[in-house]
Amino acid sequence: MPGRLDIVKTYKLYVNGAFPRSESGRSLKVTNTDGAVIAHISHASRKDLRDAVAGARKAACGWGRRTAYNRGQILYRMGEMLEGKSDEFAQVLKSTTGENLRVCRKEVATSVDRLIAFAGWADKYAQVLGCNNPVAGPYYNFTVPEPTGVVAVMAPDEPALLGLVSLVAPALCAGNAVVALGSEEHPIATSLFGEVCATSDVPAGALNLLTGKREELAGWFAEHRDIDAIHGANLEDELATKLRCGASENVKRVTVREVDDDAWLEPAECESPWWIEPFVEMKTIWHPTGA
Amino acid sequence: MPDDTPNGHHATAASEMRANGEAATRDAKPGRRIGGSAGTSSSGGHELSFGDAWEYAPAPESTKVEIADRYGHFIDGKFTRPGATFATINPATEKKLAEVGLGAKQDVNRAVRAARAALPKWAGLKPSERSKYMFRIARRIQERARELAILETMDGGKPIKESRDIDIPLVAQHFFYNAGWADKLHYAFPGRAAGTVKPVGVCGQIIPWNFPLLMAAWKIAPAIACGNTVALKPAETTPLTALRLAEIFEEVELPAGVVNIVTGDGSTGQALAEHEDLDKLAFTGSTEVGKILARTAAERGIRITLELGGKSPNIIFDDAAIDQAVEGIISGIYFNQGHVCCAGSRLFVQEGIVDEVVAKLRIRMQSLRVGDPLDKNTDVGAINSKMQLERIEEYLEIGASEGVDVWSANGSLPDRGYFCRPCFFTGVQQSHRLAQEEIFGPVLAVMTFRTPDEAIVRANNTPYGLAAGIWTEKAAKIFDVATRLKAGIVWCNTYNKFDAASPFGGFKESGFGREGGLQGLKPYVRL
């Protein structure tokens, strides 16, 4: 008999700044590579998604209106907190994916770097994507990017952490509130990432993390009228089509990427402003210059 | 300060002062209206006067900052043993703070050599790793912000509320902002592929005393973000915070030689500027010295960027929100004792509202608190040096001799230290030296105009072109006037705003190159 019984962490959703269980009361088994159950995870329902979107919508305005510098600092803080939890993340990834620890550590480190990269973008993308337009008349005319609003993220199964971070960070950096469904196969990293966000001054509701089944939730993601854009990667064709069709109802912007395993590790691939651009609206302002 | 007030006026002036509810402790030159006609508020503003009922209680910043007796240079990642030194003093007390290395040619040589040696590795470092060093610097600056602010105020004389709330937060922001560019440079320059945006090389940087640490950040942050290495010379009168920054470089393990700091006087700066192994010079300071350095750089065939003087116009139209405009005039010229290259030192007021504006300005100036820079209530601190105070006083005499009216608020000045009452001249003409030359003190020249066209012509009638201010509630007028002013920064219904994301720099003889923002990277890259 062991001297002390371990305390096992309960993995929950991260919604509106809190860690609720699924309102449905459902949970899913998480197994390791040997098939042994190592944890249970909340199985998010349609109602959980709606709660998350409601929280995101409430947070979107304030988050989008923060200074870009402030958003950058908070993303940087997320990077700091993730760095501090590197070991825990690497162990979790190892136990569920079966990859060796070195590969898992690399994934965590790259996730930190990705957050730092987008922390840097927060006060710069407007300078790269926006412009002043030399219209043929006595007008001042300039185009500035504004956040789209509420962005839903559908993360790939692998890489479980890096995929999620890479899809969430650009949307968040541009001032959008995010509702993300993490990896279905390896969901623990998603729940853990909530702990990073909760301790990084991310305002409640600006980032919401769900775990559950893509197939079940995809339709609700697509049709939810208060989601303005979707960012996904490596989704099955059928699912992507379902998202796009549903999205047409309220003219959601849908970006579904194909990213190779190795490409996730590449800054050139995943840290460009073109990962931000789909989640901003270009606003053009005209003003006469005559006295 | 010209004092054409005969001695016999003292009594009168003193009683006038009491009427204004102010107390004098130092000299009997209050009243401060020399020539001129109007009293305190003739038209326009309303004044709240509480007489002697309430005195401000001093609110001194109480945190103590350790200052060593002697400082060496920071070369190749280490502080050198101090050799020849000179004293740096607190301009508010005239007391010595520390002895600081007087950089000689060999110190400069060592600094540039260290920068040269560090260049290949730093330039070759993975950009995202360069970026991380800079984020670390930004974080340490944030953590040590209070200490840096106090030291900045002690060494330079600026009010603690400015160093605490403006200078040091901006210093951190400049490192934070530029850190993020290190791995994104190819997006800043259209058509460039990743890895093709190269650093210029070893940069010699010379900075002034008005924003000592902020100027260091403006220079160092974009330079090292782009992969350059640096030899920097802080101003003679304000070396201490740059040396503190060097401590931070040590703490965050910035590779040795990436930034080297050599303190000293003009001769040190000259030795640095003339060093044969520089790839680039960057200078912030007077137009006079800037022109000399431009020649030096030309002879050597190296690059240079210059951020020089200004005589910036602040234009108040009759459709402006007057109270806000008056605040803008105050922050435009009296911010940092007027030691600001972009200070709104030429005030143009549309003729119909000049009486109202001047009256309100007088009232507002009477509540400006001049004194101990470490007091959190202080609005106007100490003039940076004796030399600068003398220079300002010389201009005040020039003003008097040119026959214009000067006015300054009553109020006491500390017994010791270099202090100057904020003041303004009215009846100034375009041809007056007060309207032409950069004074770099709390001295405002007030002029009037009738039409926007006249304001623009007169605002542009200067060899400088650094900044300008426009005050009107008509947005179309703002855009029209802003477009026609020859200035690198145009503040509309605001003044003296700075941000790491916003480029700064001038037209014409105010220099070339920009600091801050995306454009601030350009001087530090080879495309």
Whether A11 is covered by a domain: the verdict is no
Helices (H), B4-98: 10-19
B378 and B293 co-located in one domain: no
Q: Estimate to the nearest angstrom the gap between the alpha carbon of B116 and the chain centroid.
A: 30
B29 pLDDT exceeds 60? no
Q: Which of A180-184, A215-219, B405-409, B410-414 has the lowest mean pLDDT?
A: B410-414
Closest-CA residue of A relative to B138 is A73
B4 pLDDT exceeds 90? no
Owning domain of residue A53 = 27-288
pLDDT at B189: 96
Helix axes B240-251, B145-156, angle to 10 degrees: 160
B29 and B83 co-located in one domain: no
B41 pLDDT exceeds 70? no
B379 and B406 co-located in one domain: yes
Whether A22 is covered by a domain: the verdict is no
What is the β-pairing status of strands B313-316 and B346-350? Answer: parallel
Residue B268: both structure tokens together: 């040190």
Number of domains in chain A: 1
Percentage of the residues of chain B whose pLDDT score is greater than 90: 86
B362/B364 Cα distance (integer angstroms)? 5
Residue B350: both structure tokens together: 């549309």
Number of domains in chain B: 2
Residue A121: both structure tokens together: 């973008």
What is the β-pairing status of strands B525-526 and B198-199? Answer: antiparallel
CATH number at residue A81: 3.40.605.10
CATH number at residue B142: 3.40.605.10
B360 and B261 co-located in one domain: no
pLDDT at B32: 44
- CB of A231 closer than 8 Å to CB of A279: yes
B400 and B514 co-located in one domain: no
B260 and B405 co-located in one domain: no
Query: B381 — phi, psi (to 5°)?
Result: -95, -145
- CB of A32 closer than 8 Å to CB of A95: yes
Whether A19 is covered by a domain: the verdict is no
Whether A197 is covered by a domain: the verdict is yes
Owning domain of residue B386 = 7-60+310-492
Whether A9 is covered by a domain: the verdict is no
Whether B486 is covered by a domain: the verdict is yes
B339 and B257 co-located in one domain: no
pLDDT at B13: 32
Of residues A33 and B316, which shows the higher confidence score?
A: B316
Whether B94 is covered by a domain: the verdict is no
Task: List chain B residues with CB under 8 Å of A287.
Answer: 475-476, 479
pLDDT band at B287 (very low <50, low <70, confident <90, very high): very high
B339 and B478 co-located in one domain: yes
Percentage of the residues of chain B whose pLDDT score is greater than 70: 90
Query: B320 — phi, psi (to 5°)?
Result: -80, 160
User: Please, which residues have CB within 8 angstroms of residue A215's CB and are 6 or more apart in sequence?
Assistant: A239
Mean pLDDT computed over every residue of chain B: 91
pLDDT band at B31 (very low <50, low <70, confident <90, very high): very low
Closest-CA residue of B relative to A117 is B180
B146 and B222 co-located in one domain: yes
| Number of Cβ pairs < 8 A linking chain A and chain B | 74
Q: Does B500 touch chain A (CB under 8 A)?
A: yes
CATH number at residue B388: 3.40.309.10
B255 and B120 co-located in one domain: yes
Nearest to A120 among B180, B475, B480 (CB): B180
pLDDT at B58: 85
Confirm whether B276 is a catalytic residue: no
ipTM of the complex: 0.95
Task: List chain B residues with CB under 8 Å of A81.
Answer: none
Confirm whether B251 is a catalytic residue: no
Task: List chain A residues with CB under 8 Å of B480.
Answer: 138, 289-291
Whether B501 is covered by a domain: the verdict is no
Q: Does A170 touch chain B (CB under 8 A)?
A: no
Task: List chain A residues with CB under 8 Å of B135.
Answer: 76, 116
B273 and B333 co-located in one domain: no
Which segments in chain A show pLDDT lower than 70? 1-2, 291
What's the DSSP call for residue A181? E
pLDDT at B54: 73
Residue B276: exposed, middle, or buried by beta-carbon count in 10 A (0-12, 13-18, 19+)? Answer: exposed
B128 and B12 co-located in one domain: no
